[in-house]
Structure 1
């Protein structure tokens, strides 16, 4: 499904207790990709990309001993300007992105964004979150870490 940032929809996110805010966060990401890369942001149900979800989970586990407790609802998988991007939107309202530049010396990181109205998940309590305002998503709290290890890209990439 292509994500619109002009007509924000909760489709696919209805089970989230902060569905409206999570939809705004998803639309905010869609706007970023359209404005920066002229790329249409699309999502699929997380169940349709098990290898890519497992890749993200492996990075979290090996890099920071993290396991996200909330179910993954949707994912966006794309490659733009030599960067492999994965977004995972969780039922709790968490939005996670993993970016992996294919070039050896490129950027590799995982970012976390908390939807307006959600508490910081216990598993992310060690992170400090900066705040930013968004017309689409209200107040977004974000944090990240740099990926240091090697993590072969999933076959779905």
Structure 2
């Protein structure tokens, strides 16, 4: 069932099984606020089992571009298009959030972003491969993030 993320009243709905559910909910709300403010888009998530195609797409990109497999189970997905950008977010039980930003008309503006919820360790599969910058958020505490540029067509 789809859930529109409320960034004013942060809820752990759908994320309860995460050991960092509160921080992950804050991270999800932080993304919802960004899309509402920048694009007037309501950030909506669905349970992972309702978004297999989106998860498979993200997994194919991770595997082909960086030989990367995420060990944590996915909990929720948000997939949408604003302007000419296809966005796909996957929120994982560990507290990890992965987003794919895929512009339709500019191959130089395509990337995969990783965000770590406050209080979680860097997942082993990302630990030695990425450097994470810190960002403060009123909704999510300290967010650590990294990214890579997508080279292939997807």
2:21 is matched with: 19
Runs of 4+ in 1 over 3 A off after TM superposition: none
Please report how far the alpha carbon of residue 105 of structure 1 lies from its aligned counterpart in structure 2 after TM superposition: 3.6
1:133 is matched with: 136
CA spacing shift, 1:8–1:150, aligned 2, 3 Å: same
Please report how far the alpha carbon of residue 106 of structure 1 lies from its aligned counterpart in structure 2 after TM superposition: 4.9
Secondary structure of 2:61 counterpart:
helix
Q: Verify the 8 A CA contact 1:100 1:106 in the aligned structure 2.
A: no
Distance 2:8 2:52 in 1: 30
Deviations 1:12-54 (A, max 9, x none): 0000000000000000000000011111000000110111110
1:83 is matched with: 85
Distance 2:84 2:39 in 1: 12
The gaps in structure 2 that reach 5 residues or longer are none
1:148 is matched with: 151
1:3 is matched with: 5
The gaps in structure 1 that reach 5 residues or longer are 152-157
Distance 2:106 2:13 in 1: 37
2:50 is matched with: 48
TM-score (norm 1): 0.94
Give aligned pairs, total.
151
Deviations 1:108-153 (A, max 9, x none): 10000000000000000110000000000000000000000112xx
2:69 is matched with: 67
